[in-house]
Amino acid sequence: MSAGRRLMFPIVSLVTLLLTPFPSSAQDPAEDTKKTRIVFRISKEFIRKYQTPVIEDTSPVDMCLFGSHVTGTAHTTGRTSVKLDTNEKDAVFITRFQGSTDSQQVATRRPVAVHSTSKTAFEAQRMIHFDGVRFSADAPTIEATATSVIGDVETPRLFRSVIRRMASREIDRTKPAGDEIGLQEVKTKVLASFDTETTQLVNQLNKIVPYEKAISIVAPKTQGWINHLGTTQNYLLLSPGPKEAEIAVLPKEAKQMRAPLELWVKGQPSGERIRLLLESFTATERAFDLFRAARTGETKKVEGIKFTAVGDWWVLKIGEDLLDQWIDKIEPKPEPPK
């Protein structure tokens, strides 16, 4: 992961400003305990930006199996993805790695050399949780299936037919066990690589925002606030508020929003707090200039950010201009018609 991707966002100062809810016109005081008034959305595309979309690896095969020395190469290629499912209680997503390993090998036990190829299709996945303070991961799992084909069987000319018959019987006897060993070998290597990749993803997500400090400020124990969490098909939701409250339903216009990060506030922000809030998020927006420079080749900065009114909600949208670029790089291109 390049250094340019490790962004530290100044959310601590931001949430300090939000301890007292912004006023809302004609607001029933009882509503304050029914719905939260602050919603932070982390988009699926933002998470994907910290993943490697395509993974390829070529490694040597060198092992002893049933008295034979097996050598060759194994080429693994696959694509990662992120899946979010609607969840009203937890912020959680599944990251997947789907692909295949193609191997070519030669098993040698003098005077016979057996050439073979194999293909193992796999799907590894890992569930990532966000508890409002940190991201954490369950143990990764993998499912895989394999097929193999015996190719040339090299034998000496002397007694070739006899040696070939003996070799064929030995191949038939050991092939099922050999295929299973090969399958488990691929699963072990893919799972280890996937574990490393997804652990790195979790570490990166935990470096993006100082969640623990932020939450200790925005929801102090004396205030009785907790972190309400949720998941939609496109966002992880973090919404601090009273224990008995539910995550507020954002206005229908939120479905059309296209920003990697969004902060929604109920009621019009004003005064010194809004000025400091805008300064904090402007620093965050400037961090995305590295991605803009990578796209255009120029260090082009966007204008200062501001709240946008959406009914009686106000929203700050961070990195909105980058989302199309990120999707283009992440999503596979359709095959041209033949």
pLDDT tens for 28-77 read 555 556 888 888 899 998 899 888 899 999 999 999 999 999 999 999 99
pLDDT for 264? 87
pLDDT for 212? 60
Judgement on whether residues 322 and 247 belong to the same structural domain of the protein: yes
Into how many domains does the chain fold?
A: 2
Instruction: Identify whether 338 is part of a domain.
Output: no
Instruction: Identify whether 258 is part of a domain.
Output: yes
Q: Report phi then psi at 284, rounded to 5.
A: -65, -45
Judgement on whether residues 144 and 273 belong to the same structural domain of the protein: no
Which of the residue ranges 152-166, 229-243, 299-313 would you say has the lowest mean pLDDT?
299-313
Judgement on whether residues 214 and 192 belong to the same structural domain of the protein: no
For the beta sheet containing 313-318, the strands, ordered from the edge strand earlier in sequence to the opposite edge, are 225-231, 235-242, 38-43, 261-266, 313-318, 308-310
Averaged pLDDT for residues 233-247: 92
Judgement on whether residues 131 and 232 belong to the same structural domain of the protein: no
Domain's final residue, options 148, 180, 206: 206
Q: Which residue has the tokens 């209680």?
A: 89
pLDDT for 217? 46
Domain's final residue, options 206, 221, 255: 206
Residue 119 burial (C-beta neighbours within 10 Å; 0-12, 13-18, 19+): middle
| Whether residue 4 has pLDDT greater than 60 | no
Instruction: Identify whether 298 is part of a domain.
Output: yes
Instruction: Identify whether 124 is part of a domain.
Output: yes
Average model confidence (pLDDT) across the chain: 79
Judgement on whether residues 118 and 247 belong to the same structural domain of the protein: no
Judgement on whether residues 95 and 219 belong to the same structural domain of the protein: no
Judgement on whether residues 72 and 182 belong to the same structural domain of the protein: yes
Judgement on whether residues 153 and 216 belong to the same structural domain of the protein: no
- Closest to 316 measured CA to CA, from 7, 4, 15, 8: 15
Residue pair 232/239 in contact (Cβ under 8 Å)? The answer is: no
Instruction: Identify whether 232 is part of a domain.
Output: yes
Judgement on whether residues 113 and 58 belong to the same structural domain of the protein: yes
Judgement on whether residues 196 and 263 belong to the same structural domain of the protein: no
Averaged pLDDT for residues 180-203: 95
Buried b (16+ CB within 10 A) or exposed e, 155-177: beeeeeeebeeebeebbeebeee
Which of the residue ranges 152-156, 189-193, 213-217, 240-244 would you say has the lowest mean pLDDT?
213-217
Band of the pLDDT at 10, cuts 50, 70, 90? very low
Which two structure tokens, joined as six digits, stand for 173?
A: 């006897």
| Whether residue 179 has pLDDT greater than 90 | yes
| Whether residue 296 has pLDDT greater than 90 | no
Instruction: Identify whether 95 is part of a domain.
Output: yes
Buried b (16+ CB within 10 A) or exposed e, 253-278: ebeebbbbbbbbbbeebeeeebeebb
Residue pair 61/105 in contact (Cβ under 8 Å)? The answer is: yes
- Closest to 233 measured CA to CA, from 102, 122, 92: 92
pLDDT for 16? 41
Averaged pLDDT for residues 217-246: 83
Domain that holds residue 39: 3-48+209-330
Which of the residue ranges 37-51, 88-102, 172-186, 307-321 would you say has the lowest mean pLDDT?
307-321
pTM, whole model, 2 decimals?
0.77
Which of the residue ranges 10-14, 119-123, 222-226, 252-256 would you say has the lowest mean pLDDT?
10-14
